[in-house]
Each structure stands twice: as structure tokens, then as C-alpha cells.
């Protein structure tokens, strides 16, 4: 009974279309998390950065009547809020976890507050018109391929952008000089510093990069998938992305694989026919976190964080 329902759901192109869409949504902040953690800055503020991006995207898109302006401003504001995290944790040597929590709280507070202050009658934004949403590119005949067409060629524009960014960040981290420096700064900042690498600058760029990517993901959520902004609409996706970073062993491709699994989990939790077979969507919701715990415990190859992850760097320290 259950397996029949599961099989039926898994063979539907709709499930996989949703799964890839959610996976791309998780992938963007997860990639940001990968570069930030690889450079040695713990980032649990991705949830808040996404929320800021989601809000800014809708606010700017509605006010300028231009979705692209919304998208760009969402990315920039995601970067700006991450700049707070960067300054506080790199320059002022704050505890990076507390700073990340504060980013999440301030993003929740600020977006809810501004949603109240900046919208007419304090009623929030209306549902966005189709022209104010990020479009789905038309792939012509490719979109008509039976199964693959729906899954791969009817996705939102940001989905393809996320794939490009995935390849880009993988190459950046493992095939370029800059990537080598990022990893060195995260593993042994003193050695990197001795070799002439500007530790703080690299960390700044990586944290801001994670903010830009999270802002993009937020805009993808509000302007692309949902078409509206609600208070706290990210609903823990930043934390799932963080789980994906760890589950993917701090590599871009690993994180992408984790996002695919978690995205499929989310798509399954929305499936009505599975709920009919007695599987509760809430219990499916625990899957990403359970898997990550198992990965941490290390029954199947333990996940180890970069050596200097979370430790502020002081020039001249041993």
C-alpha cells in the first residue's frame, strides 16, 4: 500500500520538478555556506539573509514595477546584511554563532517591521502580478520531451543560474588559485598569512559571497516560486541549507547532492497521495536533519569541518 503510493509519486514528473526546484532553492544558500565555512567563518545566518533577500526583492519589484531591479536589490541587500556578520565576526572577533543568530533575529524583526511600516494600511504586499515574477525560460521543443521536459526544461530561470553557480563555485574552490587560498585560510590561517594571503580580505569576500547567494535564493523564493512576501516565509530553509553543507562534507558537489535529497524530501512532504497512505508530512520534514545527524555521527564516513572554522583570526597569533 505504502510502497505502491511511494512508487506512484516517484514516477510522477511533477514530484521531480518540485524536487529540483526546492533543491535549487536550497543549493544557493548552501553554496554560500560552503565558501563561508571553507574560509573559516561559521555562518548560521543564511536563514536571515534569505529572508532579507525575499523581502527586498518583493519591495523593490513592487515599487519600481520591475522584477529585475527587485532581483538585483535582493542580492545586494543579502550581501549588505552579511557584511554585518563579516564585520562583527572578522573585525570585532565576535562569537560567530551568536552573530549568526543575531542576523537571523534581526532579519526576522526587520522584515516583519518593514512589512508593517512600508505597506499601505499595514496589510502586507498583494500577490505579485505575473509580470513581476521571475520568468520561466521557454526551451521550445525541449520542454515537450515526455518526462525530462517537465523536470528539466520547465524550471524557473534561477534554477539554471543556480546550476551555473554550482559549477562556478566548484571550479573556483578546487581549480583556481583563489580557491586554494580560501581553503588555506579556513584550514590554517597562520600559514596562509605567512604565505602572504590576506586572511581577513578572503574571509570578507567569502562571507559577503554567502550573503549575495542567500539574497538571490530569497528572491527566488519570493519573486520566483511563491510570488508574495510573508513574514518568516523562509521557514527554516536556511537551516536545511546549513544541514546540506555539513551533509555534503563542505564541498559544492556534495552540498548539491544533499540539496537534491532534501529537495526530494520536501517535494514528497507536499504529495497528497503519500499522506493518504498514512505518512505524515511532518515526519518527512525531519529527514534532512536526521540524515545530517547520522552524517555527523559518522557511521557512513564522518564529516569533519575545516580546521579553523569558527575561530577568529588574530594576526601574529600562533
Partner 1 sequence: MAVPTIQRETSPARPPTSRLLLWLRKQGPRVGRPFFAVVLSILIGSIVILISSPGSFGDRLTTISDAYTALWAGSFGDGFSLSNTLVKVTPLIFASLSVAISFRAGLFNIGAAGQIVVGAMAADILALKATTWPGWLLVPSMILISMLAGGLWGAIVGFLKAWRGAHEVVTTIMLNWIAFYVTDYFIDGPFTAPGGVNQTNALPLQARLPRITDIYNATLGQFLPKADPYMYLVDVGFLIALLALGVYWFISKRTTFGYEIRVLGENPKAAVYAGIPTKRNILLVMAIAGAFAGLGGALHLMGQFPYQMVATTSRVDTTGFDAIGASLLGMNTSIGILLGSLLFGGLRSASPLMQASGISGDIVLVLEALILFCMASEFLPALRRVLPDWLRIMPARAASPATATPAPLPVEESGEEVLQEASTKKAGDDGTSLKEE
Instruction: Pick the binder of partner 1 from 17, 21, 96, 214 (CB under 8 A).
Output: 96
Q: Could you say whether residue 109 binds partner 1 (CB under 8 A)?
A: yes
* Residue 133 or 203 with smaller CB distance to partner 1: 203
Contact 203, 313 (CB under 8 A): yes
Neighbours of 205 (CB within 10 A): 17
Q: How far is the CB of 226 from partner 1 (least distance, A)?
A: 16
> Cβ closer to partner 1: 89 or 154?
89
| Interacting residues with partner 1 between 238 and 297 (CB under 8 A) | 239, 242-243, 246, 280, 282-283, 285-286, 289-290, 292-293, 296-297
Residues between 117 and 146 with contacts to partner 1, criterion CB under 8 A = 117-118, 122
| 136 DSSP assignment | P
Pick from 9, 42, 151, 158: which binds partner 1 (CB under 8 A)? 42
Nearer to partner 1, 16 or 250 (CB): 250
Q: Which stretch, 3-11, 71-79, 207-215, 300-308, contacts partner 1 (CB under 8 A)?
A: 300-308
CB of 216 to partner 1, least distance (A): 23
Q: What does residue 233 show for φ and ψ, rounded to 5 degrees?
A: -75, -15
* Whole-number Å distance between alpha carbons of 180 and 149: 38
Helix, strand, or coil here: 93?
A: coil
Judged by beta carbon, residue 96 or residue 156, the one nearer partner 1 is: 96
The string of DSSP codes covering 151-210 is HHSSS-HHHHHHHHHHHHHHHHHHHSHHHHHHHHHHH-HHHHHHTT--HHHHHHHHHHHH
Given candidates 26, 207, 308, 313, which one binds partner 1 under the rule CB under 8 A?
A: 308
For residue 230, the minimal CB distance to partner 1 (Å) is: 12
Is the separation of the CB atoms in 31 and 48 below 8 Å?
no
Applying CB under 8 A, which of residues 97, 161, 226, 253 lies at the interface with partner 1? 97
Question: What nine digits make up the cell of 5?
Answer: 503510493
Q: For residue 68, which of 145, 20, 135, 6 has the smallest C-alpha distance?
A: 135
With left for phi above 0 and alpha for psi between -120 and 50, is residue 60 left, alpha or beta? alpha
Closest distance of CB 162 from partner 1, Å: 23
Q: What Rg value do the Cα atoms of the chain yield, rounded? A: 20
Q: Do residues 27 and 166 lie in contact, with contact meaning Cβ atoms separated by under 8 Å? A: yes
Q: With b meaning 16 or more CB within 10 Å and e meaning fewer, what string describes 129-159?
A: eeebbbebeeeeeebeeeeebbbbbbbbebb
**Which cell goes with 10?**
516517484
80 forms part of the interface with partner 1 (CB under 8 A): no
Residue with smaller CB distance to partner 1, 225 or 311: 311
Q: How far is the CB of 66 from partner 1 (least distance, A)?
A: 22
Q: What is the smallest separation between the CB atom of 300 and partner 1, expressed in angstroms?
A: 13
Given the rule CB under 8 A, which of 16-24, 115-123, 146-154, 170-178 is the region that contacts partner 1? Answer: 115-123
For partner 1, the closer CB: 165 or 312? 312
Closer Cβ to partner 1, 148 or 304, answer by number? 304
What is the phi/psi pair of residue 304, to 5°?
-120, 130
By CB neighbour count within 10 A (0-12 exposed, 13-18 middle, 19+ buried), where does 23 fall?
Answer: buried
- Residues in contact with partner 1 by the rule CB under 8 A: 42, 44, 84, 88-89, 91-99, 101-106, 108-110, 112-114, 116-118, 122, 231-232, 235-236, 239, 242-243, 246, 280, 282-283, 285-286, 289-290, 292-293, 296-298, 302, 304-305, 307-312, 317-318
Amino acid at each position: 500500500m505504502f510502497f505502491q503510493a511511494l512508487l506512484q509519486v516517484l514516477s510522477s514528473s511533477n514530484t521531480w520538478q518540485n524536487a529540483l526546484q526546492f533543491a535549487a532553492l536550497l543549493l544557493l544558500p548552501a553554496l554560500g555556506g560552503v565558501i563561508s565555512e571553507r574560509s573559516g567563518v561559521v555562518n548560521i545566518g543564511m536563514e536571515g539573509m534569505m529572508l532579507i533577500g525575499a523581502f527586498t526583492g518583493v519591495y523593490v519589484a513592487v515599487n519600481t514595477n520591475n522584477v529585475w531591479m527587485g532581483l538585483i536589490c535582493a542580492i545586494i541587500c543579502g550581501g549588505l546584511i552579511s557584511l554585518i556578520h563579516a564585520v562583527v565576526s572578522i573585525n570585532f572577533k565576535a562569537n560567530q554563532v551568536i552573530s549568526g543568530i543575531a542576523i537571523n533575529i534581526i532579519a526576522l524583526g526587520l522584515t516583519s517591521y518593514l512589512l508593517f511600516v512600508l505597506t499601505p494600511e499595514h496589510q502586507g504586499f498583494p500577490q505579485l502580478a505575473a509580470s513581476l515574477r521571475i520568468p520561466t525560460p521557454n526551451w521550445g521543443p525541449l520542454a515537450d520531451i515526455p518526462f525530462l521536459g517537465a523536470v528539466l526544461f520547465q524550471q524557473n530561470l534561477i534554477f539554471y543560474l543556480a546550476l551555473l553557480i554550482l559549477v562556478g563555485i566548484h571550479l573556483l574552490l578546487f581549480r583556481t588559485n583563489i580557491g586554494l587560498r580560501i581553503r588555506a585560510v579556513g584550514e590554517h590561517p597562520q600559514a596562509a598569512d605567512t604565505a602572504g594571503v590576506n586572511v581577513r580580505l578572503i574571509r570578507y569576500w567569502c562571507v559577503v559571497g554567502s550573503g549575495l547567494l542567500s539574497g538571490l535564493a530569497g528572491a527566488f523564493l519570493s519573486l520566483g516560486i511563491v510570488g508574495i512576501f510573508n513574514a518568516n516565509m523562509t521557514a527554516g530553509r536556511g537551516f536545511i541549507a546549513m544541514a546540506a553543507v555539513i551533509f555534503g562534507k563542505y564541498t559544492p558537489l556534495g552540498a548539491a547532492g544533499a540539496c537534491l535529497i532534501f529537495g526530494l524530501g520536501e517535494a514528497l512532504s507536499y504529495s497528497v497521495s503519500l499522506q493518504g497512505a498514512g505518512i505524515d508530512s511532518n515526519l518527512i520534514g525531519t529527514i534532512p536533519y536526521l540524515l545530517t545527524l547520522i552524517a555527523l555521527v559518522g557511521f557512513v564516513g564522518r564529516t569533519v569541518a575545516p580546521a579553523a572554522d569558527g575561530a577568529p583570526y588574530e594576526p601574529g597569533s600562533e
